[in-house]
Amino acid sequence: MKIVGLITEYNPFHNGHLYHIEKALEVTGADTAIVVMSGNYVQRGAPAIMPKHLRAEVALEAGVPLVLELPVCYACGSAEYFAEGAVSLLEQLGCIDCICFGSECGDYYLLEKIAHITADEPEEYRSFLQANLKSGLSFPLARQAALKSYLQDPSLDEILEQPNNILGIEYIKALYRRKSPIGAYTIKRKVSGYHDKDLKEGYSSASAIRRLLAYAGSSVHMTSDKPYDEPELSEVLTRLEDQVPPACIRTLEETHRVRYPVYTGDFSLLFRYKLLTETRESLKEYMDMTEELANRMVNHANDFITFDQFCDLLKTRELTYSRISRCMLHILLDIRAADLSLYKEAGGCQYARVLGFRKEGAKLMARIKRFSSIPLITKLTQTEGLSETAQKMLRQDMFASDLYESVITNKYKMPFVNEYCQQIVRV
């Protein structure tokens, strides 16, 4: 049996994701797929719009046999850590033959060339990179300029500005560094760009769909000058009928303002409380934190109003919005640089936790149990045998999920469901 691994967020699930699943099976010749999906927080440094179990259920309804959760320490990390965590999980399952990811360029060999350069860091490339960093450029821009100089290819700007290309490079780099036997393929992203804010025919970005759902069904929303009426949920869902599978429409309808939407603004007071407990020195311990950002957070602490407003306030030429948002999420979820170093030394992901499966997914779980070098978790009550490192990673996952659930409880006045009580989704 040939198995392809898919690394996803499904935030929320849409036709582009369905295309990715179908095309991945086609181009790799795989018999089936295993999905690794971000939990309740995503790579851009934000909570997922809806809980992980709902997103997993839609993926299963769309035909995915098995959905595993990417631990939160990796799910809300930079592209490098996100890829490192997902690849380590898939490789340690012991049964994955290849991965397949979407990219804007669709050119695997170009992405592989860039990945190997950034992994090996030839002396000339490193000199360009260090010079660019010293000039005040942020790391992404410094790397982009260094690659362009090293390869003498000005067209790389477009390649290195696209988020899925960047993630693709990091997937290939992670496989290369681990000397992994897993193969890799890419398929060209269809129609919509990652950051597109407007719906496109048939294949829209998750960003555009989230934007449409943001205030659906609310009575009034303030613009800069006057209030205006927002579309009813039924109108929004009608517009989404050709953008997402029927199962997703049903979930969006049944759980709207019951279990979703969830946004960074919903965590504002929680972050404000956490910030009040921190010092300039303690902030430096968190993942992705720099001395400059720690100083800016302390200096502007009294100017905090909301999560998003604070990100905008702290942003500089060197500190991007996404970088700041991820740092703030790491502070809120207590994810420290030392934690990621510990996990890296231990081989990456310490377990594979099942979010949901279809009937045929049971065979895949049996295969994982046979070949995997990490435990397969189906019940939180049966994790006593985990290593101390794995227990630490799992506690972070549980805390992050319980915090997310607390926000839902407060926002929609729903009963709190402890992570121990969350049921695996079966379709």
| Binding-site positions for ATP | 7-20, 102, 164, 189
What does each C-alpha distance from 4 to 106, 132, 357, 424 come to in angstroms?
A: 18, 38, 16, 22
Report the binding-site residues: 7-20, 102, 164, 189
Q: CA-to-CA distance for 239 and 187, rounded, in angstroms?
A: 27
> Tokens 């709190």 map to which residue?
416
Helices 307-314 and 321-333: crossing angle in degrees, nearest 10, is: 130
Q: How many CB atoms lie within 10 A of CB 279?
A: 9
User: 253 and 263 in contact (C-beta within 8 Å)?
Assistant: no
Q: State the amino acid at position 157 in one-letter form.
A: D
Rg (the chain; Cα; Å):
21
User: 252 and 213 in contact (C-beta within 8 Å)?
Assistant: yes
| Per-residue burial over 227-256, b = 16 or more CB atoms within 10 Å of its CB, e = otherwise | eeebeebeebbeebeebbbebbbebbeeeb
Helices 123-134 and 139-151: crossing angle in degrees, nearest 10, is: 140
DSSP character string of 221-271: EE-SS-EEEPPPHHHHHHHHTTTS-HHHHHHHHHHBTTTB---GGGGHHHH
Q: Element (H or E) spanning 124, and its range?
A: helix 123-134
